[in-house]
Chain A
Amino acid sequence: MDKTINQKAWFLVLPVFLVVAFSAVLPLMTVVNYSMQDTFGNNQFFWNGVGWFKELLDPSTDLGGRFLASLGRNLFFSLVILAIEVPLGIVVALSMPRQGWTVAACLVILALPLLIPWNVVGTIWQIFGRPDIGLLGYVLNAIGIDYNYVSNDIDAWVTVIVMDVWHWTSLVALLCYAGLKSIPEAYYQAAQIDGASRWAVFKAIQLPKMNRVLLIAVLLRFMDSFMIYTEPFVVTGGGPGNSTTFVSIELVKIALGQFDLGKAAALSLVYNLIILIVCWIFYTVMTNAGNERKPQEGAV
C-alpha cells in the first residue's frame, strides 16, 4: 500500500507538540540540566556531571544517606498502608448492602473522606491528635495511654498511618464494591447448590472476580502513598527528628530549605524513575492478567 504523504498533518499536531513541550519536556529538561550542576546562589552554576547521582546512591554521603533513609521509610509506609487498606477495603465492600436505600447512604459516607483536600485532612488529624485540645489525643491520655505524636516516633507513625487509612480505605472499598456488583447472581446460586461455605464463596468467586479492581486499587494506593507529602507534612512536619520524613518531604527540604537545586534535581529524577518503573511493572502485570482471560479458539 502506498503511504499518503501529507505535510499539512504536521501543522495539525503542532499545537500538541507545543503544549507538551512547554508543560512537560522543557521543565523536565530544566531539571535534568540542574541535576548536572551545582550552585552557590547568585545564579552561578558549576558543572558537576553525574556527581549528584553517585552521591545519591552512596549511603555514606549526606545526600545518599538522607535519600536512602527516606526511601526506606516511604516504602515501609506504603507497604503498611497497603497491608491495612486492601484487606480492610475488601471487608468493608463485602459487608456493604447490595440493594435498598442503604446502598446510597453507604456510598455517600464512604465517599466523604475522599472529597476532603489533603491539607484539610492533615489539619483535621493534627488537631484531632493533640494531647491538650484534640479529642483523640486527650481521650487516649485520659485513659492512661501516653500518646504524643510530636515527641514520640511511634505515635507519629501511628497517626500518619491511621490518617491515611481513614482517608483512603474508602477508595479500595468502593473499587471492590464495584467489582463485587459485577458478579452475576447465578454465581452465588451455583455456589449455594455446590454447597460452598462463606469462605469458599469468597475464595472461589468473589476474590477472583475482584482481581482486576484490586490490582488497580493497589497501584493507585501505592503510587499515591509513595508520593505522599501534604498530610504528614501538615501533621508532623517530618518529625519528630526525621522519623516521618518521606522522600517528597526530604526533596522539598533540600530544594527549598537548603536551595540545593542540583541535589534536589538529581533526587527528583531518581524518584520519578522509581515511580515510572513501578508503574510499568503494574501495567505489564495487569495487561497480562487480561490476556489470560481470552478463551482459546478450538478448545473442545
Chain B
Amino acid sequence: MARIDLVDLAHSYGGNDAPQETFALKPVTMTWRQGGAYALLGPSGCGKTTLLNVISGIITPSRGKILFDDKDITPLSTQKRNIAQVFQFPVIYDTMTVGQNLAFPLKNRGVPKAEIDKRVAEIGRLLDLEPYLNRKATRLTADAKQKISLGRGLVRSDVAAVLFDEPLTVIDPELKWQLRSKLKALHRELDLTMIYVTHDQTEALTFADTVVVMHDGRVVQSGTPAELFDKPAHTFVGYFIGSPGMNILPAEVKGREARIDGHVIALNRSYDSLPAAAKIEIGVRPEFVEVVAPTPGLLTAKIERLDDLGRIRFARARLGDAKLAARAPAGFTSSDGTAGLKFDPAHIHVYADSLLVEGAA
C-alpha cells in the first residue's frame, strides 16, 4: 500500500544525451494516490508501456526519481519493489498447477508453507479459481490464465500497486466485461492502487476513476472521465476521447468571438491575450454542434454522410479542408448537400498550439 510519486521522471532508450524530442517518456511529475484506479490511455507507441515498466522496475529510468511513500525506490530491482504486473499475454508457469502458480511468488520469498496455503486459498476464492487449484494451468482458457497472472500479483500481502499492461487483449469480448467488473470489484475490496494501460478508451473510462492520457511520450492530461470529456486540456485528448472525437477547427479568436472564413461564432468567455505566433484552433464536441437547414449568417458545411448510431445521428461534414462531425436532429435532411452549423457557445474551447487556453469570464 503506497502513494507513488514520479519526480521529473523521463526515459530515453537512446541514453540521456539524445535530444529530448526522441525520449520515449518525456519528463513527467505526478502523484498516484494510494487506492486509486488509474488508466493510462494513449495510442500505440505513446510511451505508456514504458512508463509502466519504469514504475515496475523492468526499465531503469534515464532521469528522475520514483517514490513509494516518499521512499526513493528508483535504483531498486523489480524483485525488491512491492509491485505486481499483469502482462498483455498471460504468463503461466506451464509445469505447475494453478495453485502452485499462485504460490510461486510466495515460495520465492521464503514465506512459510502454512501462510502460503492460506493466501493461495484466499486468492483462489477471490478470483473464482477455487475449482481449478489442483489442475494444470496450461489447460485453461486465456481469461483463466490472465486471472492466474493477476492472482500471482495479489497473493503477496505487501503489494503496493498492481500494474496492468493491456491485460484484456487476448480475451473474448463478452468475457472482457466480466473480467473488467471483477477487477473493479477487487479494487473496491482490496484497496489497492491499480494502474491500467490501454489504448481502448471504453476500457479506460469504465475502469478508472482517474484517466491519464499520454501522447507522444508526454502526459497530456489526467482527470476524471467527465473532465476529459468536458474540458480536454490538449487537442489530442479531445480528439482521442469520445466517439466521434472533438472537432478541431482552425480559427481566428479575438475577445468573445471566433472567426472561421469570415463567419463569427460567439464564445462564452473572452480571450484577449492569446500568444501572437501560436496556431489558434477552436475545439467543440460533435454533441454540441447541430446541423440545421442552411441559414444566412450560419457557417455552411458540405454534408458527406449521416451516421445513424441508433440513439443519435451524426452528420459527417466538410468545412473547407477541415472535417467535422455534428449532431443531426431528428427529421434533418439536406436537399442540396449543405447545412448550416449551430454551435453551443458554452462548450467551445480555444486552443493555442494544441494547449487549452482558459478564457476570462
Q: Could you tell me which A residues sit within 8 Å of B by CB distance?
A: 184, 186-187, 189-190, 192-197, 200, 204-205, 207-209, 292-297, 299-300
Contacts and interface: CB of A to CB of B under 8 A. Distances in A.
A196 B78 contact: no
Contact of B95 (A187, A194, A197, A208): A208
B123 interface: no
Nearest to B84: A193
B44 interface: no
Interface in B64-100: 77-79, 83-85, 87-89, 91, 93-96
6 contacts: A192-B58, A192-B79, A194-B108, A204-B96, A204-B104, A299-B141
Nearest to A195: B108
A299 B132 contact: yes
Contacts of A205: 93
B143 interface: yes
A7 to B, nearest CB: 48
A224 B145 CA distance: 40
Given A192-B79, A194-B152, A195-B79, A204 B87 contact: no
B139 A190 contact: no
Most B CB within 10 A of own CB, among A194, A208, A297:
A194
Nearest to B131: A300
A295 B138 CA distance: 7
Contacts of A296: 139-141
A189 B58 contact: yes
Most chain-A CB neighbours within 10 Å: which of B79, B88, B91, B152? B91
A194 B91 CA distance: 11
B149 interface: yes
B56 interface: yes
B143 A300 contact: yes
B105 interface: yes
B286 interface: no
Contacts of A196: 104, 108
A193 B108 contact: no
Contacts, number: 82
Contacts of B138: 292-293, 295
B194 interface: no
Given A192-B78, A193-B83, A295-B139, A186 B89 contact: yes
B124 interface: no
A300 B144 contact: yes
A208 B88 CA distance: 21
Contacts of B95: 204, 207-208
Contacts of B136: 292
A200 B96 CA distance: 12
Contacts of A186: 87-89, 91
A198 to B, nearest CB: 11
B140 A190 contact: no
Given A192-B77, A204-B95, A209-B94, A300 B149 contact: no
A192 B79 CA distance: 6
A14 to B, nearest CB: 47
Contacts of A293: 138
Nearest to B144: A300
A196 to B, nearest CB: 5
A192 to B, nearest CB: 4
B153 interface: yes
Contacts of A299: 132, 135, 139-141, 144
B91 A187 contact: yes
Nearest to A189: B58
A292 B96 CA distance: 13
Given A184-B89, A189-B85, A296-B139, A194 B105 contact: yes
Contacts of B88: 186
